[in-house]
Structure 1
Amino acid sequence: MSNRFSQKVSVFHGQALPEEGMLAGYAFMLQELEQNSNKVLPTPKQLCIITDKHQRYSTKRWQVFTKRHKPNSNTISHIVFALKYEGIDLLILKSTFQLIGEEEIKKYILSEPTGQYSRKIWFLYEWLFEIKLDIPDLKKGTYVELLNPNQQYPGPTENSTRHRIKNNLPGTPEFCPLIRKTQKLEKYISTNIRDSIDKGLNNRDKELIKRTAAFLLLKDSKASFAIEGEYPPNMRARNWGKAIGQAGKKPLTLSEIERLQHVVIGSKKLKNMGIREGEGFIGEHDRETFTPIPDHISAKAKDLTSLMNGLLNTNNLLQNSEYDPILTATTIAFGFVFIHPLSDGNGRIHRYLIHHILTWMGYTKRDMIFPVSSAILDRISDYQDVLEDFSSQRIDLIEWESTSDHNIKILNETIDLYRYFDLTRQAEFLYECVEETINRIIPEEIDYLEKYDMLTNRINSFINLPDTKVDLLIKLLNQSEGKLSKKKRENHFEELTEEEVFIIEENYEEIFIS
């Protein structure tokens, strides 16, 4: 028996194992790829080992199995183990298929052509490489789900009669991120927090809801710019807000993405608008040499046609199915920002895509804007963490050199890094933002406008002030906990007496604070 199949380890990728054991499934495949083809890939959040003990248990990082679960001494047995216990990792599977070669895959399939795992491997090999092996179609047999719905969220099902497989992958060969089932996601999906929006708006004044939507629209637009460190003139923010207000009306296409970029950028157009023709990265430059210091490297320019085609086709597949709308928005919006197909405007369009998909799939209604950027801005460090979760796993796997114009030139093939990845952490984050939006941001905005109207009516009942001055007065009171300072009164409201100011402050406290 080959030593590599029975070797025991206590550390893997710098992480201590809960106890000494043999690597199994994807952990074994990662080791094989590193040792035999010098290929390093992003590591799944949880891996598997086999120990000599008779206790099966799990830690945050490891699933520990007993000797009776041990795969046979060949790589395909570890593939079967992974499909059975760990789910599907398309990136590791594709690389492992390339390592062991077509002949060994064919030999295994032909040895047990009706076995459920041989059929899964057969389907996945042909699907990933978009080829057809010299193996006859199956003529009979029950259909087997490709992706285990107890492990990962399945997409709409399409039967493959050739393999007797129910293909329920939530994507296409050109773009197919996956999301693992977790207790947190299951809780969000089962409680259907979306219903809280309608409950909160029932019996509310329609004009108030309309004004709330307008305020939220501008607030979300400004928040999306603020996330990028930009504070544009009000008109530019309003124009982007109008675009957000139209989300969900037009199908998502390349031309629509390019139109949105023009709205985002405003009057100062880039030299090269639309899909990038050169490479790109997010990061800094060395102060002395101007050498790039990337935090995120965008997908190769030559790969963008395939990646964007895959993203748009996956979007069409999911948004016209029963796939969860938040998971769909995660897949498309985060997939877009990781690919980073534009020279500028990627972040704001990424957040626009969340609006678009949630509206298109009926999760939110057009008469109530869903200010998800405001929720993200409130949790900006968590947002940066979920973006870095993707980038940090890939930055060292991309070979590059600096160019004369201080950009980067990518030297290795990287397309699959942007096609196949896990989005579980991003999905949990987006659900948290949705919950925050529904339970706090929208109710707070409605509550504020109701109180604003009450105070406005009281002020107007005994003082004749222009609407703009009343608005300024309430904003200044908000800024200073209901008190109008002497300086602000002298600068803006010299026509008010001390008694009138006292009455206004009393009313503010009664309405906003009590």
Structure 2
Amino acid sequence: MGWLGYQWLCERFRLATFPLSRPARLAPVSRVTRTAEALLVPTQVAPEADQPLDQLLFALKHEGVNLQVLAQALTRIPDSDIRRRVQATPSSRYVRVLGFLWEAFNGRDIDGDFAIAGPTVDLFDARRYLTAPGQRNARWKVNFNGLGSLRYAVTVERTPAIERLLALDILDRANTFVAGLGPQATDRALAWAYLHETETSFAIERETPSPDKAEAFVALLKQAHQPRPMDEDYLVALQNAAITNPLDRAAAYRHEQNWLRGPLRGAAGITYVPPPPELVHALMDEVLAFANALAKRIDPLVAAAIASFGFVFIHPFMDGNGRLSRFLFHYALCQSGRLANGLLLPVSVAMKRNEAAYLSALQSFSIPMRRHWEVRWLADESYDFRFQGDEALYRYWDATQVVEFSLDMARQALEKDLREETEFLDRFDRVYRQIDDAFDVRGSALTTLVIAALQNNGKVSRNRRKQFQLTVPNPVFDAIEQACAQALK
């Protein structure tokens, strides 16, 4: 096939990585050509086939930054190879980046003093990736401007959809929208948002919360605006309050392996295996940095998406992870200081409506990760799990799809859910007042009839007329329909 770059390195060193979205390969083209399936490379541009260092330099220049591959491949490269290349071309941007990453992933410095020339260069090209304010490495003159750290980082490509959604300034629009409502309308709209966010977050997990549990979760959501750093103790307290079964309450992050399963029996039914318990603390420290700190340094919606999905991919508890991941989304937004105090975007409502897209975003990570676990079914609910990959798989991943999905859910939560509910409440008020001024009808009955009519395109159904025929005069039904018709214009 004539693989080049990252794919060549994966095969040469038998690296454990996710499938590359566009592997580079030799092709009869006149210049490097990007297609939907591959990066086509002419012979005159291809690196030396038997030189790993040349393949690495080619990959950085033409394929971008893939830390999953780089973290593993650079541990296979002798420091002497890097030293010779730096001495030969000390001003080369990509050679300097390789030297910087080699030391980071090998945990030691390359011997020698290098006369690094040229200006400081960014690790990630801001024209291709979303980036963060950088941390400069003086030795190599390389600026780490990735999302996260060299211990845990995600990449997010600037797709047209992401660029379009970021340009909407969703959080500013949400603040403006709520500021334009009156105090009473604001209170009711937010009360609806908190309650329905709670109900749908549980519904996504196929659960129905009791009134007490729903009230407790609403209280948790309101805590998201409080300036308290997120840590293990805080998450444990949240987990204890969020789950319905008291026997599943955690005292700390998990110390055993957990898994997700589908309807199939045995090992075939295991759909995802989170990281081994010995990695959980280190990974969670990095994920919480997105919620605690990075939400103040990059677009908060991007940080919230990474924190939320990163959390659920780690699955640090044996139960309650889904609800907590969605809480973490709100927490990151609130801690950024970009949302008005008390404001909540009901993203779970939008996610529930788009469950197939939500599942696809989760599977962008879970499906390729599952291939790196050997699972044997022993008996009943007993399994033997053996991780065949590398921890780099959990530390470095492509978050493009989950960020794109999350941005769109935030947009829908504002433009559809919050706005439509506010408009509904305004119509309800107008219809209710008009009928209440003209007729003497019990308030509970009138409320039920007006809500039902507005939800039924302004018509009072035959069943509702029959239900209230003994307590509501017939002219009221017709008046409600006339008032609804005016309100729905």
Whether TM-score is above 0.5 comes out as yes
Partner residue of 2:334?
Answer: 359
Match of 2:355 among 380, 398, 412: 380
Call closer, same or farther: CA 1:234–1:489 in 2, change over 3 Å.
farther
1:244 aligns with 2:221: yes
- Distance, in Å, in 2 between the alignment partners of 1:212 and 1:65 is 55
Partner residue of 1:6?
Answer: none
Partner residue of 1:24?
Answer: 4
Task: After superposing the two structures, state which structure 1 stretch, 393-402 or 331-340, moved more.
Answer: 393-402
Partner residue of 2:73?
Answer: 96
1:33 aligns with 2:9: no
Call closer, same or farther: CA 1:201–1:342 in 2, change over 3 Å.
same
- Distance, in Å, in 1 between the alignment partners of 2:384 and 2:250 is 17
Alignment partner of 2:131: what SS? coil
Alignment partner of 1:295: what SS? strand
1:263 aligns with 2:241: yes
TM-superposition CA deviations, 1:308-340 (whole Å, max 9, x none): 12222354442232x122221122111111111
TM-superposition CA deviations, 1:47-101 (whole Å, max 9, x none): 2223243144321122223333221341111111111122111111112123334
Partner residue of 2:313?
Answer: 338
Alignment partner of 1:356: what SS? helix
- Distance, in Å, in 2 between the alignment partners of 1:285 and 1:485 is 40
- Distance, in Å, in 1 between the alignment partners of 2:31 and 2:64 is 22
Q: Is the 8 A contact 1:175 1:314 kept in 2?
A: no
Task: Please give the TM-score of this superposition, normalised by the length of structure 2.
Answer: 0.92
Match of 2:232 among 250, 254, 265: 254
- Distance, in Å, in 1 between the alignment partners of 2:252 and 2:214 is 21
AA in 2 matched with 1:153: L
- Distance, in Å, in 2 between the alignment partners of 1:327 and 1:104 is 38
AA in 2 matched with 1:426: V
TM-superposition CA deviations, 1:429-463 (whole Å, max 9, x none): 11111221222222111101101111121222133
Partner residue of 2:189?
Answer: 212
Call closer, same or farther: CA 1:208–1:397 in 2, change over 3 Å.
same
Q: After superposition, where does 1:365-404 map in structure 2 within 5 Å?
A: 365-402=340-377
Partner residue of 1:443?
Answer: 419
Task: After superposing the two structures, state which structure 1 stretch, 194-203 or 296-305, moved more.
Answer: 194-203
AA in 2 matched with 1:378: R
Alignment partner of 2:417: what SS? helix
Match of 1:45 among 21, 29, 54: 21
AA in 2 matched with 1:95: Q
Q: Is the 8 A contact 1:172 1:313 kept in 2?
A: no
Q: Is the 8 A contact 1:300 1:415 kept in 2?
A: no
Partner residue of 2:199?
Answer: 222
Q: After superposition, where does 1:112-511 map in structure 2 within 5 Å?
A: 112-136=89-113, 138=115, 141-249=118-226, 250-266=228-244, 268-270=246-248, 272-284=250-262, 287=265, 291=267, 293-321=269-297, 323-402=298-377, 405-412=381-388, 414-485=390-461, 487-492=463-468, 494-511=470-487
TM-superposition CA deviations, 1:343-371 (whole Å, max 9, x none): 11111111111111122223432343211
- Distance, in Å, in 1 between the alignment partners of 2:245 and 2:257 is 24
Task: After superposing the two structures, state which structure 1 stretch, 402-411 or 234-243, moved more.
Answer: 402-411
- Distance, in Å, in 2 between the alignment partners of 1:507 and 1:62 is 60
Shift of 1:403: 5.2
Alignment partner of 2:155: what SS? coil
Task: After superposing the two structures, state which structure 1 stretch, 306-315 or 75-84, moved more.
Answer: 306-315
Q: Is the 8 A contact 1:401 1:408 kept in 2?
A: yes
Partner residue of 1:16?
Answer: none
- Distance, in Å, in 1 between the alignment partners of 2:450 and 2:347 is 26
Instruction: Indicate the RMSD between aligned Cα atoms, in angstroms.
Output: 2.4
- Distance, in Å, in 2 between the alignment partners of 1:263 and 1:493 is 44
How many residues are aligned here?
486
Identity of aligned residues (%): 22
- Distance, in Å, in 2 between the alignment partners of 1:107 and 1:403 is 52
Task: After superposing the two structures, state which structure 1 stretch, 292-301 or 63-72, moved more.
Answer: 63-72
Shift of 1:137: 5.9
Alignment partner of 1:133: what SS? coil
Q: Is the 8 A contact 1:275 1:342 kept in 2?
A: yes
Alignment partner of 1:154: what SS? coil
Call closer, same or farther: CA 1:106–1:400 in 2, change over 3 Å.
farther
Task: After superposing the two structures, state which structure 1 stretch, 384-393 or 199-208, moved more.
Answer: 199-208
- Distance, in Å, in 2 between the alignment partners of 1:342 and 1:106 is 44
Shift of 1:489: 4.2
